[in-house]
Amino acid sequence: MRHLRCFVVLAEELHFGRAAQRLHVAQPALSQLIQRVERELGAQLFLRTRRTVSLTEAGQTLLPEARRILRDADRVTQAVRAVHRGETGSVTIGFVGSAADDVLPRLVAAHRRHHPGVSIRLEEGTTAQQLEWLRDQRITVGLGRTPIDDPAVSTVVLARESLVLAVPDSHALSGAESAELAGLAEEPFIMFPRHLGPGLYDIIHSACAAAGFTPSVVYETVRMQTIVGLVSGGLGVALVPESVRNLGRKGVRYVHLADAPPAIELSMMWRNDCESPHLQPLRKTARHL
């Protein structure tokens, strides 16, 4: 590309001194470079006299093609650099269902504003599934429930929220302002399997243990929407993130817990060795949510 660029500048200036000045090279070096190009092409590109420099017919033929090649090379270079800076290309974000109630739409909207050239794909899955996807490089970052036990993955907390008790409309506590965990010892619980979300699962079980009982789990399911659906059908109660209220499911009431467990975390997760150019821009967007 350097040879073509030097040829084009000399063709525009038709003067070795001015061309060398524009290219920031010594005039003898420019003259040698042009001679080398002519030898490689097997054609004389310039007619040289003591006073003038002009293009030969071969040089006139090469000039528009050289300009086109240089424009294309510049375009490709800019495109590659834009991808490297995380300004274009595509990124895949994993998320737990409850993240879609608040954090996910804010994150996606903010990132699209600042990086309109980036295509964003979304993959819904449990925290455990997202950790697998991170290992397989199926997603760039995940939005999951922490803490997690994976030394290969880093996290940053994006939001904290309380757990609330979800009960069917027909339940005795449906009209209560608050409830205590100890009063739920005989209730049938609906939860998700521990291996799919150990952080939240352990918080719920630890809170119940502190209240003096182990929850009697009658149904296990993966999605929060399904858990709430089963509650609405009168099949049990559930402890769910407060943001689940936004689902607006009919037949369910949400009751504040007087002795609520510690706030649960929704965090961004990524591989420690992630080399995606989109990681740092995504983290920057997340910091300003």
Q: What global pTM score does this model have? A: 0.70
The fold adopted by the segment(s) 163-262 is D-Maltodextrin-Binding Protein; domain 2 (3.40.190)
Token pair recorded at residue 198 = 């150990």
Question: pLDDT value at position 35?
Answer: 93
Q: What is the pLDDT along the chain (289 residues), one digit of tens a residue?
A: 888 999 999 999 999 999 999 999 999 999 999 999 999 999 999 999 888 999 999 999 999 999 999 999 888 888 788 777 777 889 999 999 889 888 999 999 999 999 998 999 999 999 999 999 999 999 999 999 988 889 999 999 999 999 999 999 999 999 999 999 999 999 999 998 988 888 888 999 999 999 999 999 999 998 888 999 999 999 999 999 998 888 888 999 999 999 888 889 999 999 999 989 999 999 999 999 8
Q: Which fold has domain 1-85?
A: Arc Repressor Mutant, subunit A (1.10.10)
CATH 3.40.390.10 fits 93-148+272-287, yes or no: no
Domains 93-148+272-287 and 163-262 share a fold: yes
* Bridge partners of residue 48, in order along the sequence: 53
Res 159: pLDDT: 93
Backbone φ and ψ of 43, nearest 5°:
-150, 145
Q: Is-contact 123 95, C-beta < 8 A?
A: yes
| 89 contacts 278 by C-beta, under 8 angstroms | yes
DSSP run (H or E) holding 206: helix 198-210
Domain boundaries, the chain: 1-85, 93-148+272-287, 163-262
C-alpha 19 chain-centroid distance: 46
Cα–Cα distances in angstroms (integers) from residue 203 to residues 101, 148, 191, in the given order: 21, 12, 12
Classify residue 150 by its DSSP letter.
-
> 165 with 179: CB under 8 angstroms?
yes
User: What is the predicted pLDDT for the residue at 173?
Assistant: 96
Q: Are strands 141-146 and 89-95 parallel, antiparallel or unpaired?
A: parallel
